[in-house]
Amino acid sequence: MKKRYYHILIAVILAVSLFAAVLYAEGDDLSYSMNGDGSSYSVTGIGHYWDSELVIPESYNGLPVTSISTRAFEQNKSIVSVYIPDSVTTIGDFAFSGCSKLREVRLSNSLVSMGKGAFYNCTALENADLNGYLSVIGDWAFWNCQRLKSVSIPGSISSIGIGAFSGCTNLSDIRINDGLSSLSQYLFADCTSLRSITLPSNVASVGEYAFADCYGLEEIFFRNSHVNINGRAFYGVSANAHYSCSDSSWNEFNFSGYGGELRWVSHTNTVHFNAVAPSETSPGNIEYWYCSDCGRYFADAACTKEISEFDITISIVDAQRGDVDGNGVKNEDDVLRSLYHIFFGDAYKVNQDLDFNGDGAENEDDVLRLLYNIFFGNDYPLS
Protein backbone atom coordinates (compact mmCIF):
# COMPACT_ATOMS: atom_id res chain seq x y z
CA MET A 1 0.00 0.00 0.00
CA LYS A 2 2.64 2.43 1.14
CA LYS A 3 4.71 1.79 -1.93
CA ARG A 4 1.78 2.45 -4.27
CA TYR A 5 0.98 5.87 -2.70
CA TYR A 6 4.65 6.67 -2.92
CA HIS A 7 4.62 6.07 -6.65
CA ILE A 8 1.50 8.15 -7.16
CA LEU A 9 3.05 11.01 -5.18
CA ILE A 10 6.21 10.92 -7.29
CA ALA A 11 4.12 10.89 -10.46
CA VAL A 12 2.05 13.88 -9.31
CA ILE A 13 5.14 15.90 -8.37
CA LEU A 14 6.75 15.07 -11.71
CA ALA A 15 3.63 16.03 -13.63
CA VAL A 16 3.24 19.35 -11.79
CA SER A 17 6.88 20.33 -12.17
CA LEU A 18 6.88 19.33 -15.81
CA PHE A 19 3.77 21.45 -16.38
CA ALA A 20 5.39 24.42 -14.59
CA ALA A 21 8.64 23.93 -16.50
CA VAL A 22 6.74 24.00 -19.78
CA LEU A 23 5.00 27.23 -18.73
CA TYR A 24 8.30 28.89 -17.82
CA ALA A 25 10.17 27.55 -20.82
CA GLU A 26 7.57 28.89 -23.20
CA GLY A 27 7.24 32.19 -21.29
CA ASP A 28 3.94 32.70 -23.02
CA ASP A 29 1.66 33.17 -20.04
CA LEU A 30 0.92 36.68 -21.27
CA SER A 31 -0.82 37.10 -24.59
CA TYR A 32 0.98 38.68 -27.53
CA SER A 33 0.44 39.78 -31.07
CA MET A 34 3.00 40.37 -33.77
CA ASN A 35 3.47 44.00 -34.77
CA GLY A 36 2.96 45.24 -38.31
CA ASP A 37 6.72 45.30 -38.92
CA GLY A 38 6.78 41.48 -38.63
CA SER A 39 9.84 41.63 -36.42
CA SER A 40 8.54 42.55 -32.98
CA TYR A 41 5.74 41.80 -30.57
CA SER A 42 3.17 43.64 -28.46
CA VAL A 43 1.84 42.41 -25.14
CA THR A 44 -1.92 42.38 -25.54
CA GLY A 45 -3.08 41.07 -22.16
CA ILE A 46 -2.59 39.08 -18.99
CA GLY A 47 -3.25 35.69 -20.64
CA HIS A 48 -2.66 32.98 -18.04
CA TYR A 49 -0.12 34.95 -16.06
CA TRP A 50 -0.76 34.31 -12.38
CA ASP A 51 1.88 36.24 -10.43
CA SER A 52 0.85 39.63 -8.97
CA GLU A 53 4.40 40.79 -9.76
CA LEU A 54 4.15 41.25 -13.49
CA VAL A 55 7.43 40.93 -15.39
CA ILE A 56 7.17 41.64 -19.07
CA PRO A 57 9.91 39.79 -21.00
CA GLU A 58 12.32 41.50 -23.37
CA SER A 59 11.53 39.06 -26.14
CA TYR A 60 8.95 36.54 -27.31
CA ASN A 61 9.52 33.81 -29.90
CA GLY A 62 13.00 35.22 -30.44
CA LEU A 63 11.74 38.70 -31.34
CA PRO A 64 11.81 41.82 -29.15
CA VAL A 65 8.73 42.92 -27.21
CA THR A 66 8.48 46.61 -28.09
CA SER A 67 5.06 47.71 -26.95
CA ILE A 68 2.18 47.19 -24.60
CA SER A 69 -1.13 47.29 -26.43
CA THR A 70 -4.10 49.54 -25.82
CA ARG A 71 -6.07 48.41 -22.74
CA ALA A 72 -3.72 45.38 -22.30
CA PHE A 73 -4.09 45.24 -18.51
CA GLU A 74 -7.04 47.59 -18.03
CA GLN A 75 -8.99 47.06 -14.79
CA ASN A 76 -6.71 44.24 -13.64
CA LYS A 77 -7.24 43.93 -9.88
CA SER A 78 -4.34 41.64 -8.96
CA ILE A 79 -1.17 43.21 -10.39
CA VAL A 80 0.87 44.80 -7.58
CA SER A 81 4.04 45.63 -9.48
CA VAL A 82 5.09 45.72 -13.09
CA TYR A 83 8.52 45.51 -14.68
CA ILE A 84 8.67 46.94 -18.19
CA PRO A 85 11.94 46.03 -19.94
CA ASP A 86 14.07 48.44 -21.95
CA SER A 87 12.95 46.83 -25.23
CA VAL A 88 9.55 48.52 -24.81
CA THR A 89 9.22 51.94 -26.46
CA THR A 90 5.44 52.38 -26.40
CA ILE A 91 2.73 51.98 -23.80
CA GLY A 92 -0.72 52.05 -25.41
CA ASP A 93 -3.81 53.97 -24.35
CA PHE A 94 -5.34 52.87 -21.02
CA ALA A 95 -2.81 49.98 -20.84
CA PHE A 96 -2.88 49.89 -17.03
CA SER A 97 -5.92 52.08 -16.31
CA GLY A 98 -7.90 51.12 -13.23
CA CYS A 99 -5.24 48.69 -11.94
CA SER A 100 -6.23 49.53 -8.38
CA LYS A 101 -3.62 47.29 -6.65
CA LEU A 102 -0.68 48.45 -8.78
CA ARG A 103 1.86 50.07 -6.44
CA GLU A 104 5.23 49.90 -8.16
CA VAL A 105 6.11 50.36 -11.79
CA ARG A 106 9.52 50.07 -13.36
CA LEU A 107 9.27 51.89 -16.66
CA SER A 108 11.44 51.06 -19.65
CA ASN A 109 14.49 53.29 -20.04
CA SER A 110 13.74 53.41 -23.77
CA LEU A 111 10.13 54.46 -23.44
CA VAL A 112 9.25 57.12 -26.02
CA SER A 113 5.48 57.31 -25.91
CA MET A 114 2.93 56.80 -23.17
CA GLY A 115 -0.67 56.69 -24.37
CA LYS A 116 -3.81 58.33 -23.06
CA GLY A 117 -4.87 57.19 -19.62
CA ALA A 118 -1.95 54.71 -19.47
CA PHE A 119 -2.08 54.68 -15.65
CA TYR A 120 -5.49 56.33 -15.31
CA ASN A 121 -7.06 55.86 -11.88
CA CYS A 122 -4.20 53.70 -10.54
CA THR A 123 -5.04 54.83 -7.02
CA ALA A 124 -2.27 52.78 -5.31
CA LEU A 125 0.58 53.78 -7.64
CA GLU A 126 3.46 55.28 -5.65
CA ASN A 127 6.10 56.06 -8.23
CA ALA A 128 6.56 57.02 -11.86
CA ASP A 129 10.20 57.42 -12.82
CA LEU A 130 10.05 58.91 -16.28
CA ASN A 131 13.19 58.44 -18.36
CA GLY A 132 15.06 60.90 -20.50
CA TYR A 133 13.80 59.62 -23.90
CA LEU A 134 10.12 59.99 -23.25
CA SER A 135 8.62 62.51 -25.64
CA VAL A 136 4.86 62.08 -25.28
CA ILE A 137 2.56 61.57 -22.31
CA GLY A 138 -1.09 61.23 -23.33
CA ASP A 139 -4.19 62.88 -21.87
CA TRP A 140 -5.14 61.84 -18.31
CA ALA A 141 -2.16 59.43 -18.20
CA PHE A 142 -1.87 59.55 -14.39
CA TRP A 143 -5.31 60.92 -13.52
CA ASN A 144 -6.34 60.25 -9.91
CA CYS A 145 -3.10 58.47 -8.96
CA GLN A 146 -3.72 59.51 -5.39
CA ARG A 147 -0.58 58.00 -3.86
CA LEU A 148 1.90 59.46 -6.32
CA LYS A 149 4.17 61.76 -4.32
CA SER A 150 6.72 63.06 -6.78
CA VAL A 151 7.26 63.34 -10.49
CA SER A 152 10.12 64.69 -12.56
CA ILE A 153 9.18 65.58 -16.10
CA PRO A 154 12.25 65.05 -18.30
CA GLY A 155 13.46 67.67 -20.73
CA SER A 156 12.83 65.27 -23.63
CA ILE A 157 9.08 65.73 -23.28
CA SER A 158 7.58 68.08 -25.79
CA SER A 159 3.94 67.37 -25.11
CA ILE A 160 1.91 66.36 -22.09
CA GLY A 161 -1.74 65.60 -22.59
CA ILE A 162 -4.69 67.28 -20.91
CA GLY A 163 -5.05 66.58 -17.20
CA ALA A 164 -2.18 64.06 -17.21
CA PHE A 165 -1.50 64.50 -13.47
CA SER A 166 -4.81 65.95 -12.31
CA GLY A 167 -6.34 64.55 -9.16
CA CYS A 168 -2.95 63.34 -7.86
CA THR A 169 -3.84 64.58 -4.40
CA ASN A 170 -0.55 63.54 -2.74
CA LEU A 171 1.71 64.94 -5.42
CA SER A 172 3.87 67.43 -3.55
CA ASP A 173 7.08 67.42 -5.56
CA ILE A 174 6.80 68.30 -9.25
CA ARG A 175 10.02 69.01 -11.12
CA ILE A 176 9.67 70.26 -14.67
CA ASN A 177 12.93 70.15 -16.57
CA ASP A 178 13.69 72.54 -19.40
CA GLY A 179 12.06 71.28 -22.58
CA LEU A 180 8.34 71.56 -22.11
CA SER A 181 7.09 74.86 -23.54
CA SER A 182 3.46 74.78 -22.52
CA LEU A 183 1.39 73.24 -19.76
CA SER A 184 -1.82 71.67 -21.02
CA GLN A 185 -5.31 72.25 -19.67
CA TYR A 186 -6.00 70.68 -16.26
CA LEU A 187 -2.44 69.30 -16.22
CA PHE A 188 -2.00 69.51 -12.42
CA ALA A 189 -5.58 70.38 -11.42
CA ASP A 190 -6.64 69.14 -7.97
CA CYS A 191 -3.06 68.39 -6.89
CA THR A 192 -4.00 69.62 -3.44
CA SER A 193 -0.71 68.69 -1.69
CA LEU A 194 1.40 70.83 -4.00
CA ARG A 195 3.00 73.71 -2.02
CA SER A 196 5.47 75.16 -4.50
CA ILE A 197 6.00 74.97 -8.24
CA THR A 198 8.77 76.32 -10.46
CA LEU A 199 7.99 76.81 -14.13
CA PRO A 200 11.36 76.80 -15.93
CA SER A 201 12.42 79.29 -18.56
CA ASN A 202 11.06 77.23 -21.48
CA VAL A 203 7.50 77.32 -20.19
CA ALA A 204 5.80 80.11 -22.11
CA SER A 205 2.17 79.24 -21.54
CA VAL A 206 -0.01 77.77 -18.82
CA GLY A 207 -3.25 76.18 -20.02
CA GLU A 208 -6.76 76.71 -18.72
CA TYR A 209 -7.34 75.18 -15.28
CA ALA A 210 -3.75 73.81 -15.31
CA PHE A 211 -3.46 74.34 -11.55
CA ALA A 212 -7.16 74.73 -10.73
CA ASP A 213 -8.09 73.91 -7.14
CA CYS A 214 -4.48 73.35 -6.05
CA TYR A 215 -5.51 74.75 -2.67
CA GLY A 216 -2.14 74.03 -1.02
CA LEU A 217 -0.15 76.08 -3.51
CA GLU A 218 1.75 78.89 -1.75
CA GLU A 219 4.63 79.82 -4.04
CA ILE A 220 4.78 79.91 -7.84
CA PHE A 221 8.06 80.77 -9.55
CA PHE A 222 7.91 81.86 -13.18
CA ARG A 223 11.38 81.65 -14.77
CA ASN A 224 10.37 82.74 -18.27
CA SER A 225 10.59 86.43 -19.02
CA HIS A 226 6.95 86.43 -20.03
CA VAL A 227 4.35 83.70 -19.60
CA ASN A 228 0.96 83.55 -21.25
CA ILE A 229 -1.41 82.48 -18.49
CA ASN A 230 -4.70 81.21 -19.83
CA GLY A 231 -8.14 81.66 -18.30
CA ARG A 232 -8.65 80.19 -14.85
CA ALA A 233 -5.23 78.54 -14.90
CA PHE A 234 -4.99 79.16 -11.16
CA TYR A 235 -8.68 78.91 -10.32
CA GLY A 236 -9.18 78.67 -6.56
CA VAL A 237 -5.46 79.22 -5.83
CA SER A 238 -4.15 81.80 -3.37
CA ALA A 239 -0.37 82.10 -3.72
CA ASN A 240 2.64 84.32 -4.17
CA ALA A 241 3.64 84.51 -7.83
CA HIS A 242 7.31 85.32 -8.30
CA TYR A 243 8.43 86.67 -11.64
CA SER A 244 11.51 88.24 -13.13
CA CYS A 245 11.91 91.99 -12.78
CA SER A 246 14.57 92.21 -15.46
CA ASP A 247 12.13 92.00 -18.37
CA SER A 248 9.62 94.79 -18.76
CA SER A 249 7.30 92.59 -20.85
CA TRP A 250 6.26 90.98 -17.56
CA ASN A 251 3.23 92.95 -16.54
CA GLU A 252 1.05 91.58 -13.80
CA PHE A 253 -1.83 93.66 -15.07
CA ASN A 254 -1.94 91.63 -18.27
CA PHE A 255 -3.18 88.72 -16.21
CA SER A 256 -6.64 89.18 -14.87
CA GLY A 257 -8.35 85.95 -15.85
CA TYR A 258 -6.24 83.43 -13.98
CA GLY A 259 -8.99 82.77 -11.48
CA GLY A 260 -7.35 82.72 -8.08
CA GLU A 261 -5.66 85.32 -5.93
CA LEU A 262 -2.08 85.64 -7.07
CA ARG A 263 0.10 88.10 -5.18
CA TRP A 264 2.67 89.18 -7.71
CA VAL A 265 6.20 89.38 -6.34
CA SER A 266 9.09 90.72 -8.34
CA HIS A 267 12.75 91.36 -7.47
CA THR A 268 13.20 87.85 -6.13
CA ASN A 269 17.01 87.91 -6.06
CA THR A 270 17.45 90.62 -3.48
CA VAL A 271 20.32 90.94 -1.03
CA HIS A 272 19.63 92.50 2.36
CA PHE A 273 22.04 95.03 3.87
CA ASN A 274 21.88 96.03 7.51
CA ALA A 275 22.18 99.66 8.55
CA VAL A 276 25.77 100.69 9.32
CA ALA A 277 26.48 103.86 11.27
CA PRO A 278 29.04 106.21 9.74
CA SER A 279 32.32 106.52 11.56
CA GLU A 280 34.97 109.23 11.50
CA THR A 281 36.77 107.43 8.71
CA SER A 282 34.03 105.78 6.62
CA PRO A 283 30.45 106.48 5.57
CA GLY A 284 27.56 104.31 6.73
CA ASN A 285 24.32 103.20 5.10
CA ILE A 286 20.67 102.85 5.91
CA GLU A 287 19.08 99.38 5.90
CA TYR A 288 18.23 98.45 2.30
CA TRP A 289 17.60 95.63 -0.19
CA TYR A 290 19.40 95.40 -3.52
CA CYS A 291 18.00 93.42 -6.47
CA SER A 292 20.83 91.95 -8.53
CA ASP A 293 18.51 91.21 -11.48
CA CYS A 294 17.59 94.83 -12.21
CA GLY A 295 20.12 96.73 -10.10
CA ARG A 296 17.51 98.66 -8.12
CA TYR A 297 17.47 99.57 -4.42
CA PHE A 298 14.56 99.23 -2.01
CA ALA A 299 13.79 100.37 1.53
CA ASP A 300 11.69 97.27 2.34
CA ALA A 301 11.99 93.50 1.97
CA ALA A 302 8.87 93.30 -0.23
CA CYS A 303 10.54 95.75 -2.65
CA THR A 304 7.58 98.11 -2.79
CA LYS A 305 9.54 101.26 -1.80
CA GLU A 306 12.19 101.99 -4.36
CA ILE A 307 15.04 104.29 -3.38
CA SER A 308 18.10 105.45 -5.25
CA GLU A 309 21.63 104.37 -4.54
CA PHE A 310 22.23 107.88 -3.23
CA ASP A 311 19.58 107.37 -0.56
CA ILE A 312 21.39 104.46 1.03
CA THR A 313 24.65 106.17 1.94
CA ILE A 314 25.09 108.16 5.14
CA SER A 315 28.22 110.24 4.72
CA ILE A 316 30.38 111.37 7.62
CA VAL A 317 28.88 114.87 7.27
CA ASP A 318 25.40 113.34 7.33
CA ALA A 319 26.12 112.00 10.74
CA GLN A 320 25.78 115.51 12.22
CA ARG A 321 23.04 115.39 14.80
CA GLY A 322 19.94 117.19 13.57
CA ASP A 323 20.84 117.10 9.86
CA VAL A 324 18.14 114.56 9.24
CA ASP A 325 17.99 115.04 5.46
CA GLY A 326 21.73 114.57 5.20
CA ASN A 327 22.45 117.65 3.04
CA GLY A 328 25.26 118.81 5.28
CA VAL A 329 23.33 121.72 6.82
CA LYS A 330 21.18 121.67 9.94
CA ASN A 331 18.24 124.04 9.36
CA GLU A 332 14.45 124.48 9.13
CA ASP A 333 14.29 121.90 6.35
CA ASP A 334 15.39 119.30 8.89
CA VAL A 335 12.66 120.44 11.27
CA LEU A 336 10.04 120.05 8.55
CA ARG A 337 11.46 116.68 7.46
CA SER A 338 11.35 115.45 11.07
CA LEU A 339 7.77 116.61 11.47
CA TYR A 340 6.69 114.95 8.22
CA HIS A 341 8.52 111.75 9.13
CA ILE A 342 6.71 111.55 12.46
CA PHE A 343 3.32 112.13 10.84
CA PHE A 344 3.67 110.35 7.51
CA GLY A 345 6.40 107.78 8.10
CA ASP A 346 9.03 106.46 5.69
CA ALA A 347 7.79 108.42 2.70
CA TYR A 348 9.88 111.18 4.35
CA LYS A 349 13.22 109.56 5.05
CA VAL A 350 15.52 110.54 7.89
CA ASN A 351 19.07 109.34 8.37
CA GLN A 352 19.03 109.15 12.18
CA ASP A 353 16.70 108.62 15.08
CA LEU A 354 14.58 111.64 16.07
CA ASP A 355 14.66 111.27 19.84
CA PHE A 356 16.36 114.65 20.26
CA ASN A 357 15.20 115.19 23.84
CA GLY A 358 16.24 111.72 24.90
CA ASP A 359 12.94 110.66 26.44
CA GLY A 360 12.85 107.38 24.50
CA ALA A 361 10.08 108.43 22.09
CA GLU A 362 10.00 110.15 18.70
CA ASN A 363 7.27 112.81 18.66
CA GLU A 364 6.44 116.51 18.28
CA ASP A 365 8.47 117.36 21.41
CA ASP A 366 11.60 116.25 19.53
CA VAL A 367 10.71 118.44 16.58
CA LEU A 368 10.35 121.42 18.95
CA ARG A 369 13.69 120.58 20.56
CA LEU A 370 15.36 120.55 17.13
CA LEU A 371 13.77 123.90 16.28
CA TYR A 372 14.98 125.44 19.58
CA ASN A 373 18.43 123.95 19.05
CA ILE A 374 18.67 125.58 15.62
CA PHE A 375 17.49 128.99 16.92
CA PHE A 376 18.96 129.13 20.42
CA GLY A 377 21.91 126.79 20.19
CA ASN A 378 23.24 124.59 22.92
CA ASP A 379 20.85 125.83 25.59
CA TYR A 380 18.70 123.16 23.94
CA PRO A 381 21.14 120.30 23.26
CA LEU A 382 20.22 117.36 21.06
CA SER A 383 20.58 114.06 22.80
Say how far apart CA 217 and CA 258 lie, in whole Å: 14
Helix (H, G, I), strand (E, B) or coil at 114: strand
State which of positions 173-192 bind Zn ion (CB under 5 A): none
CA nearest neighbour of 150 among 118, 133, 132, 125: 125
Using an 8 Å Cβ cutoff, are 278 and 314 in contact? yes
43: which residues sit within 8 A by CB, 6+ positions away? Answer: 30, 31, 32, 56, 65, 67, 68, 69, 72
Q: Give the C-alpha separation, 7 to 13, whole Å.
A: 10
Q: What is the largest CA-CA distance in the chain?
A: 132
C-alpha span between 258 and 212 (Å, rounded): 9
Applying CB under 5 A, among 65, 79, 291, 382 the residue interacting with Zn ion is 291
Give the span between the Cα atoms of 347 and 317, in whole angstroms. Answer: 23
Residue with smaller CB distance to Zn ion, 1 or 271: 271
Contact call for residues 289 and 301 (beta carbons, < 8 A): yes
Stretch that binds Zn ion, among 101-109, 149-157, 286-294, 330-338 (CB under 5 A): 286-294
User: What distance in Å separates the CA atoms of residue 257 and residue 189, rounded to the nearest whole number?
Assistant: 16
Nearer CB in complex with Zn ion: 199/291: 291
Distance CA 215, CA 148 (A): 17
Q: Nearer Cβ to Zn ion, position 77 or 263?
A: 263
Would you count residue 264 as binding Zn ion (CB under 5 A)? no
CA 123 – CA 126 distance, rounded (Å)? 9
Q: Which is nearer to Zn ion, 245 or 324 (CB)?
A: 245
Of the pair 28, 293, the CB lying nearest Zn ion is at 293
Candidates 1-9, 155-163, 290-298, 343-351 — which segment interacts with Zn ion by CB under 5 A?
290-298
Nearest-approach distance from CB 198 to Zn ion, in angstroms = 18
Burial 100-123 (b: 16+ CB within 10 A, else e): eebbebebbebbebbbbbbbbbbb
Query: Does 294 contact Zn ion by CB under 5 A?
Result: yes
Kindly state the smallest distance separating residue 217's Cβ from Zn ion, in Å: 23
Least distance in Å: CB of 242 to Zn ion?
Answer: 11
User: Under 8 Å CB-to-CB from 16, ≥6 apart: which residues?
Assistant: none
With CB under 5 A as the contact rule, the residue among 29, 74, 126, 293 that binds Zn ion is 293
Nearer to Zn ion, 86 or 287 (CB): 287
**Site for Zn ion, residues 232 to 251, rule: CB under 5 A:** 245
Residue 288 Cβ vs Zn ion, minimum distance, rounded to whole Å: 13
Nearest one of 195, 184, 173 to 141, comparing CA atoms: 184
- By rule CB under 5 A, what string of x and - marks binding of each residue 190-229 to Zn ion? ----------------------------------------
Of residues 135 through 154, those in contact with Zn ion by CB under 5 A are: none
Decide: is 267 part of the binding site for Zn ion (CB under 5 A): yes
Which of 42, 270 has the CB closer to Zn ion? 270
Count the residues of the shown chain that bind Zn ion, applying the rule CB under 5 A.
5
- In the bound state with Zn ion, the residue whose beta carbon lies nearer, of 130 and 294, is 294
User: Binding segment for Zn ion among 177-185, 249-257, 289-297, 337-345 (CB under 5 A)?
Assistant: 289-297
Nearest approach, Cβ of residue 271 and Zn ion (Å): 11
CB of 206 to Zn ion, least distance (A): 22
In angstroms, give the least distance from the CB of 314 to Zn ion: 24
Residue closer to Zn ion by CB (options 23, 294) is: 294
Residue 288: half-sphere exposure toward Cβ, Cα within 13 Å: 23
Q: Would you count residue 265 as binding Zn ion (CB under 5 A)?
A: no
Nearest one of 107, 111, 128 to 173, comparing CA atoms: 128
What residue ranges bind Zn ion (CB under 5 A)? 245, 267, 291, 293-294
